[in-house]
């Protein structure tokens, strides 16, 4: 079964073809990030205009790379929410028109939850690298999918959430940020320190130059919950920088290290605690901040310590992409067919 997926929730224009919910035949992404960088963040109007210009070409490229035609496609999946209204409208309108013209079923997907599904995907280009502590299955190079139920940590520029994933279409929200998302905090701290946009990669690179820091910034613990809060640590960094306006490059690196270490620590602590509380041995990571090297390393180390299998998506599937949308669409289509039967 071939699913054609679309993702246009932010600045990316993405289209993918996925076979049987797992094998990526194509995953084409066009981004307008360079056009937003000079503004220090995403400008919704610029994003949606570029998506209008790019979506047809991206679709054609995806079909060609997969070596299929629209006649071969069984269904169309598209991000319905959350995201920028104008950007979502571009993807949804295009997918609905394509569905109507081809008489193919249309499935609308929550792209935040879809980030966790990136751990179930594979392609000939990365058959093994999306997982930790897992050997390929007995059927060639195809890796076995994560065992469910699992705890899922989604960390992105707009969302930080913990889910109990019971099936590819059944998610229970356990906790979420009460203010800034972790990725948003990275961007704002990067702006405070003058490191540019996007902030996550900039802070990650700078923090790698340090092995420790005399500075200590703390995240709110939100005791008794699985919720997060990152507005306080962002403000603490701002006040520290204002008190020390003549910071040297080493000073900035120490700030970056301490900030990142605190954010990563609370993300890992809450995720492992959710696994232990529910006696679940599988933990999935997803979202743009899943590309952060410190988070990947610390989560892997803690997973080994507690006997929890940690699944990390490859870098190409951390950011918004259409393969995860198409993969989820396969399971939603199956569930709709079984319900009708």
The length of the chain, given as a count of residues: 341
Looking at residues 164-192, what average pLDDT do you find? 95
Domain membership flag for residue 136: no
- Of 54-58, 132-136, 163-167, 313-317, the least confident: 132-136
Is there a domain that residue 256 lies in? yes
Is 15's pLDDT higher than 50? Answer: yes
Max CA separation in the chain (angstroms): 69
What's the number of domains the chain is made of?
Answer: 2
pLDDT at 58 over 90: yes
**Is residue 326 over pLDDT 50?**
yes
| Beta-strand relationship, 2-7 and 106-110 | unpaired
Q: What is the pLDDT of residues 231-289, one digit of tens each?
A: 999 999 999 999 998 899 999 999 999 999 999 999 999 999 999 999 999 999 999 99
Q: Residue 47 is encoded by which pair of tokens?
A: 């994003």
Q: Is residue 227 part of a domain?
A: yes
Residues 184 and 330 in one domain: no
* Phi, psi values for residue 75, rounded to 5°: -160, 165
Averaged pLDDT, 41-50: 85
Question: Looking at the structure, do residues 199 and 293 belong to the same domain, yes or no?
Answer: yes
Question: Is residue 321's pLDDT more than 50?
Answer: yes
Question: For residues 260 and 34, which has the higher predicted lDDT (pLDDT)?
Answer: 260
Co-location of 269 and 168 in the same domain = yes
Mean pLDDT of 113-128: 82
Confidence class of residue 102 from pLDDT cuts 50, 70 and 90? very high
pLDDT confidence of residue 142: 74
Name the helix (H) or strand (E) containing 199.
Answer: helix 199-207
| Cα gap 29→54, rounded to integer Å | 10
* pLDDT per position as a tens digit, 223-232: 999 999 999 9
| CB-based contacts of 308, cutoff 8 Å, min separation 6 | 272, 275, 280, 281, 282, 283, 302
Same domain, 172 and 78: no
The answer to whether 127 and 144 are in contact (CB under 8 A) is no
209 and 302 together in one domain: yes
Angle between helix 182-193 and helix 231-243 axes, rounded to 10 deg: 10
Q: Say yes or no: 24 and 117 in one domain.
A: yes
Model confidence at 133: pLDDT above 90: no
**Can you read off the two tokens belonging to residue 168?**
């590819």
Give the residue from 189, 185, 153, 146 showing the smallest Cα distance to 168.
Answer: 146
**C-beta of residue 291 within 8 angstroms of C-beta of residue 315:** yes
What is the side-by-side order of every strand in the sheet holding 2-7?
23-31, 12-19, 2-7, 75-81, 106-110
- The answer to whether residue 335 is domain-embedded is yes
Instruction: Tell whether 144 is covered by a domain.
Output: no
DSSP 8-class letter at 291:
G
- pLDDT at residue 127, rounded to an integer: 46
16 lies in the same domain as 70: yes
| Residue 145 covered by a domain | no
In the chain, the percentage of residues whose pLDDT exceeds 70 is 94
Same-domain check for residues 64 and 82:
yes
Q: What's the whole-number mean pLDDT along residues 314-324?
A: 93
Nearest to 254 by CA among 265, 243, 241: 241
Q: What is the CATH number of the domain that holds 120?
A: 3.30.420.40
Q: Count of CB atoms within 10 A of residue 178's CB?
A: 14
Alpha-carbon Rg for the chain in angstroms: 20
Residues 113-139 have a mean pLDDT of 64
- Mean pLDDT score, 33-53: 83
> Which residues span the domain enclosing 301?
150-312
pLDDT at 280: 97
Alpha-carbon distance 24 to 323, whole Å? 7
- 36, 70: one domain: yes
Confidence of residue 325 (pLDDT cuts 50, 70, 90): very high
Mean pLDDT of the chain: 91
- Answer yes or no: do 221 and 285 share one domain: yes
Decide: 220 and 193 in contact? Cβ < 8 Å: no
**Stronger pLDDT, 229 or 337, i.e. the higher one:** 229
Confidence of residue 157 (pLDDT cuts 50, 70, 90): confident
pLDDT of 128: 43
Element (H, E) at 162: strand 160-167
Structure-model confidence comparison of residues 198 and 25, the more confident one: 25
Res. 209: pLDDT tops 80:
yes
Residue 249 lies in a domain: yes
**pLDDT score for 335:** 87
- Among 33-47, 164-178, 315-329, which stretch is predicted with the lowest mean pLDDT? 33-47
If asked whether residues 106 and 166 sit together in one domain, one would say: no
8 Å CB contact between 163 and 174: yes
What are the two backbone dihedrals, phi and then psi, of residue 144, each rounded to the nearest 5 degrees?
Answer: -70, 145
- Asked if 304 and 328 sit in the same domain, the reply is no
For the cut 70, the answer to whether the pLDDT of residue 318 exceeds it is yes
> What is the per-residue pLDDT for 253?
96
Q: What is the mean pLDDT of residues 105-124?
A: 94
Q: Is 143 part of any domain?
A: no
DSSP class of residue 177 equals: B
Percent of the chain with pLDDT over 90: 82
């Amino acid at each position: 079964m071939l699913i054609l997926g679309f993702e246009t929730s932010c600045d990316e224009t993405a289209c993918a073809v996925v076979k049987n919910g797992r094998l990526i035949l194509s995953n084409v992404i066009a981004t307008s990030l360079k056009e937003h960088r000079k503004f220090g963040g995403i400008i919704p109007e610029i994003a949606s205009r570029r998506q209008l210009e790019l979506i047809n070409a991206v679709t054609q490229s995806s079909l060609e790379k997969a070596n299929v035609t629209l006649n071969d496609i069984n269904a169309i999946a598209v991000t319905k929410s959350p995201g920028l209204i104008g950007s979502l409208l571009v993807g949804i309108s295009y997918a609905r028109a394509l569905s109507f013209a081809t008489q193919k079923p249309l499935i609308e997907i929550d792209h935040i939850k879809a980030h966790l599904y990136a751990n179930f995907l594979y392609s000939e280009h990365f058959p093994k690298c999306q997982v930790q502590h897992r050997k390929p299955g007995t059927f060639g190079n195809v890796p076995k999918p994560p065992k469910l139920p699992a705890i899922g940590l989604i960390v992105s520029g707009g969302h930080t959430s913990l889910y109990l994933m019971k099936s590819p279409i059944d998610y229970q929200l356990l906790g979420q940020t009460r203010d800034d998302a972790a990725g948003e905090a990275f961007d704002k701290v990067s702006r405070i320190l003058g490191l540019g946009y996007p902030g996550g990669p900039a802070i990650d690179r700078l923090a790698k130059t340090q092995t420790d820091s005399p500075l200590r910034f703390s995240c709110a613990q939100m005791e008794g919950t699985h919720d997060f809060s990152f507005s306080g640590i962002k403000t603490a960094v701002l006040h520290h920088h204002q008190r020390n306006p003549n910071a040297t490059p080493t000073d900035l690196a120490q700030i970056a290290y301490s900030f990142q270490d605190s954010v990563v620590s609370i993300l890992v602590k809450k995720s492992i605690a959710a696994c232990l509380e529910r006696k679940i041995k599988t933990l999935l990571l997803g979202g743009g901040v899943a590309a952060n090297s410190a988070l990947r390393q610390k989560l892997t180390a803690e997973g080994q310590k507690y006997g929890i299998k940690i699944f990390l998506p490859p870098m190409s599937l951390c950011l918004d992409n259409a393969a995860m949308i198409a993969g989820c669409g396969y399971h939603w289509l199956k569930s709709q067919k079984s319900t009708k039967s």
